[in-house]
């Protein structure tokens, strides 16, 4: 079929998306376009390479291509994702701006105000007999500081940590102090106090790399259930990701004799054998980094709070001095003093406390979500390790709580995880011989068993063969 025919067929299918709620079988596509079934499949495969698609199989063994109620191009961000990206950019811009302000302000103003305090103490001790109603004179001190600014002058390791619940996660190693390498850099502590420590970033292509490595190990066969185990997807998300992998690695969506949809990949398995691919790590074997408010020790936080409170107090005192009944003389630079030693440090000090306080609410929410996700991982691990992919609450609790170092899970926590997994993985409850309720995930068990059977009957074809042409010659 030529390119024009494919494009015409795709346009015809695109127009029918709303009417059929975005779902086609191969026969539907042939009926809509008037093409032969094989040609309709080619058009659907081309569509699948352009748009996000979920693959499903009916009880009768028919493949359903589901594009959703509206077409979404692969790699195209949704409106919510675009708004989130804008928010992230604005936060990053504010972070850069405020970090520069912190570097200049916190320590510098602390030193300035400290010198002013010392000057006031000295002045008070020398002028004890002076009339208490006479104006306070600070012009000498401020003239010294303004004269300073008139001179021209020349100008990522990762370690592992354990959180409070015993979950092991990756963390960036903090900058060391120049004076003591065993301690965290003070300025880095100040930045982390305001914005929080940087978390280990996830490679956006990590899942794709992991699947590629898994396919090379698994004779080019993968089922949605195995993608669930690798990345923690819900079943519908795994089915959509399977179509993405088929497009990315030039595979085929196939229905087995037992009615299980799977991806078959012939090209990705072949290579020189000398290239290290992605790391294969199941979803439940890696915990996300902890969400921390500051990442600093209590003593370091106390010092930072004291310095900022000191600045806030003096900035407030200077502002109140200008507007009080008792005048403050600072010479000819009263406007500059009001701005640079009053308003600026006052606004800065308020922001310095406001940002971490507002961020703390989000951190608390994210910690709760992370904790729920870690509990889900522990329950999934027990279920997926069993051949029949089923277990009772008591069996799961016994196995989970036998792991030393991790926080014990209660019966209600296990049941909550299982109820959500029932929806996500299309499970069901059954009764065992003793009358106990078992949570059974038959679709996952079926797909795992089918993957084993398919690989057993598939010859491994990972060799490239002999070189028959070399450009060097």
End-of-domain residue from the set 361, 384, 417: 361
Is residue 114 located within the same domain as residue 192? yes
Alpha-carbon distances of 17 from 43, 66, 335, 351, rounded to whole Å: 14, 9, 67, 51
Is residue 191 located within the same domain as residue 295? yes
Q: For residue 371, name the pLDDT band (cuts at 50, 70, 90).
A: very high
Is residue 348 located within the same domain as residue 391? no
Is residue 433 located within the same domain as residue 333? no
Q: For residue 152, name the pLDDT band (cuts at 50, 70, 90).
A: very low
Q: Is residue 310 part of a domain?
A: yes
Instruction: Reply yes or no on whether the pLDDT at 203 is more than 70.
Output: yes
Is residue 295 located within the same domain as residue 178? yes
Average pLDDT over residues 60-89: 82
Tens-place pLDDT, residues 341-350: 788 889 989 9
Q: For residue 2, name the pLDDT band (cuts at 50, 70, 90).
A: low
Residue 382: predicted pLDDT: 92
Q: Where are the beta strands (DSSP E) in 220-361?
A: 221-222, 252-255, 261-264, 328-329
Q: For residue 57, name the pLDDT band (cuts at 50, 70, 90).
A: confident
Q: Is residue 320 part of a domain?
A: yes
- The number of distinct structural domains making up the chain is 3
Instruction: Reply yes or no on whether the pLDDT at 411 is more than 80.
Output: yes
Average pLDDT over residues 352-366: 93
Yes or no: say if 321 and 133 are a contact pair by the CB < 8 Å rule: no
Yes or no: say if 260 and 57 are a contact pair by the CB < 8 Å rule: yes
User: What range defines the domain where residue 162 resides?
Assistant: 93-201+290-361
Is residue 194 located within the same domain as residue 129? yes
Tokens of 152: 């021209």
Q: Where are the beta strands (DSSP E) in 349-456?
A: 390-391, 428-431, 437-440
**Which CATH number fits the domain that encloses residue 64?**
1.10.10.10
In sequence order, what are the residues at sequence separation of 6 or more whose Cβ sits closer than 8 angstroms to the Cβ of residue 296? 184, 189, 192, 193, 304
Residue 467: predicted pLDDT: 63
* CA atoms of 335 and 332, how far apart (whole Å): 8
Q: What percent of the chain has pLDDT over 90?
A: 32
Q: Is residue 368 part of a domain?
A: no
* CA atoms of 244 and 51, how far apart (whole Å): 9
Instruction: Give SS3 for 63.
Output: strand
Q: What percent of the chain has pLDDT over 70?
A: 80
Instruction: Reply yes or no on whether the pLDDT at 302 is more than 50.
Output: yes
* CA atoms of 64 and 261, how far apart (whole Å): 10
Is residue 304 located within the same domain as residue 191? yes
Q: Exposed/middle/buried for 472, CB within 10 Å: 0-12, 13-18, 19+?
A: exposed
Instruction: Reply yes or no on whether the pLDDT at 413 is more than 90.
Output: yes
Residue 231: predicted pLDDT: 93
Q: Is residue 246 part of a domain?
A: no
Average pLDDT over residues 240-261: 90
Instruction: Reply yes or no on whether the pLDDT at 326 is more than 70.
Output: no
Q: Is residue 441 part of a domain?
A: yes
Is residue 127 located within the same domain as residue 10? no
Average pLDDT over residues 186-208: 85
Q: For residue 141, name the pLDDT band (cuts at 50, 70, 90).
A: very low
Residue 448: predicted pLDDT: 95
Is residue 177 located within the same domain as residue 304? yes
Q: Is residue 272 part of a domain?
A: no
In sequence order, what are the residues at sequence separation of 6 or more whose Cβ sits closer than 8 angstroms to the Cβ of residue 186? 177, 300
Is residue 382 located within the same domain as residue 331? no
Q: Is residue 224 part of a domain?
A: no
Is residue 357 located within the same domain as residue 382? no
* CA atoms of 91 and 84, how far apart (whole Å): 10
Q: Is residue 230 part of a domain?
A: no
Is residue 122 located within the same domain as residue 192? yes
């Amino acid at each position: 079929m030529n390119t024009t025919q494919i494009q015409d067929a795709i346009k015809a299918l695109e127009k029918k998306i709303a009417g059929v709620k975005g779902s086609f079988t191969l026969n539907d596509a042939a009926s809509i376009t008037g093409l032969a079934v094989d040609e309709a499949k080619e058009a659907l495969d081309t569509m699948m390479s352009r748009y996000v698609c979920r693959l499903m199989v009916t009880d009768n063994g028919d493949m359903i291509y589901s594009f959703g109620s509206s077409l979404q191009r692969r790699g195209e961000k949704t409106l919510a994702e675009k708004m989130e990206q804008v928010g992230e950019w604005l936060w990053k811009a504010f972070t850069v701006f405020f970090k520069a302000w912190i570097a200049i302000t916190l320590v510098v103003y602390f030193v300035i105000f400290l010198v002013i305090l010392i000057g006031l103490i000295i002045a008070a001790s020398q002028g004890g007999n002076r009339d208490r109603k006479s104006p306070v004179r600070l012009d000498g001190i401020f003239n010294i500081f303004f004269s300073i600014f008139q001179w021209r002058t020349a100008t990522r390791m990762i370690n592992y940590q354990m959180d409070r619940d015993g979950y092991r996660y990756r963390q960036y190693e903090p900058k060391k102090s120049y004076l003591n390498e065993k301690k965290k850099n003070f300025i880095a502590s100040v930045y982390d106090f305001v914005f929080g420590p940087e978390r280990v970033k996830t490679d956006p292509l990590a899942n794709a790399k992991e699947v590629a490595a898994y396919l090379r190990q698994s004779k080019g066969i993968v089922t949605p259930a195995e993608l669930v185990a690798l990345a923690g997807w819900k079943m519908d998300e795994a089915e959509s990701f399977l179509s993405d992998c088929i497009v990315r690695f030039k595979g085929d969506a196939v229905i087995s004799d037992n009615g299980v949809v799977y991806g078959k990949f012939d090209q990705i398995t072949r290579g020189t054998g000398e290239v290290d691919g992605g790391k294969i790590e199941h979803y439940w074997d890696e915990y996300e980094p902890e969400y921390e408010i500051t990442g600093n020790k209590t003593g370091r936080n106390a010092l930072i709070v004291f310095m900022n409170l000191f600045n806030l107090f003096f900035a407030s005192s200077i502002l109140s001095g200008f507007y009080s009944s008792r005048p403050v003389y600072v010479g000819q630079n009263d406007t500059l003093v009001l701005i640079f030693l009053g308003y600026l440090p006052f606004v800065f000090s308020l922001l310095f406390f406001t940002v971490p306080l507002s961020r703390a609410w989000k951190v608390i929410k994210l910690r709760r979500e992370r904790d729920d996700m870690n509990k889900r991982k522990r329950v999934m691990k027990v279920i997926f390790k069993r051949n029949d992919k089923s277990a009772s609450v008591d069996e799961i609790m016994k196995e989970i709580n036998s792991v030393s170092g991790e926080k014990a899970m209660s019966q209600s926590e296990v049941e909550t995880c299982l109820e959500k997994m029932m929806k996500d993985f299309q499970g069901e409850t059954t009764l065992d011989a003793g009358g106990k309720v078992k949570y059974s995930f038959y679709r996952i068990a079926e797909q795992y068993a089918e993957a084993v059977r398919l690989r057993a009957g598939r010859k491994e074809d990972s060799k490239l063969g002999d070189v028959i042409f070399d450009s060097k010659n």
